[in-house]
Structure 1
Amino acid sequence: MSGTGIAKSLLAIWAGVYAASVLQFLFLEPSGEGFTRGLNQIMAFLSWQMLAAIIGCTAWFIGRKHNPARGLRILLRLPLILAGLLFGGLILLIAYARLAPPPERPVQPPEQPAKTAKP
């Protein structure tokens, strides 16, 4: 099998793994309680995304070495672009959560003391 055929196969495998990460996130029941509820969904999604990024990088390196056609060259860049966007989005989300001012709490007026009836 030529390098272009291997790159196409890896690209198809990447698409399957990428789709599996999204589907598993949607159909996996959240576990845990309180703050950690649903953390299993996020970790499963990120694990599958990491595997997809590794497969995508491998496909890109193999395809780059064998000078594929222009259309395939653009498709081989897609996994790296999507992985970079996901990573950049996570970094921006963490930076926003860290640097954003806390939300304002609504001011509640002090409670009025109950009036007692005089006999």
Structure 2
Amino acid sequence: MLINKAFLISPIIWFILPIHIEFLIFGWIIQFTLGVAYWILPRFLESKGRGNTYVAWLMVFFLNTGILSVAFSGYGLGSSFALAGRILEILAVCLFISLHWKRVVTYNKG
């Protein structure tokens, strides 16, 4: 996309800019951050685990479904589809917090 700014390859490339931004910010940066935090935050000392894996997979599902909903909402799906996607992304963040809250609080009381 950046080379298209210097050398006009095709003006249609700018049509996918919203998808590119959504995938870059939420699909890569946010997911990478959540994955690293899931791995690096202190584990439960009693069970040596990282918590409920079902909640973790549900978080990933909500985040990815939200990303896809928002990314493609501008291409004829409507603003309610984008709103539903953002709500799914917020739910994913809430699941992330609920999954890690006890790990962080337990570690700090330690």
User: Which TM-score tier does this pair reach, normalised by the shorter chain?
Assistant: 0.3 to 0.5
After TM superposition, the score normalised by the length of structure 1 is 0.39
